[in-house]
Amino acid sequence: MQMNFNQLVNKIRNLSLDEKIAIKEIVEKSIIDERRKEIYSNYLKSKQELKQNKLKFSNNISKLKKILG
């Protein structure tokens, strides 16, 4: 049986408070883990770009605007 989002939300609303809290904690930990993986992936990408001399650094505001532009 496949459930759509609205059905899932309605099922969650019918759970006990303790069950809702448990689901909230599971979802929060999942979001944190996904974000951590995303940050690590960006780190690896930046590290590779640094090796390939593709990263640009500047403390000049005008140059930074052009880089971000």
SS3 letters across the chain: CCCCHHHHHHHHHCCCHHHHHHHHHHHHHHHHHHHHHHHHHHHHHHHHHHHCCCCCCCCCHHHHHHHHC
Please tell me the predicted confidence (pLDDT) of residue 63: 82
Domain ranges of the chain: 5-68
Mean pLDDT of 63-68: 81
Tell me the per-residue pLDDT of 44-64, one tens digit each, with 9 for 90 and over.
999 999 899 888 777 888 888
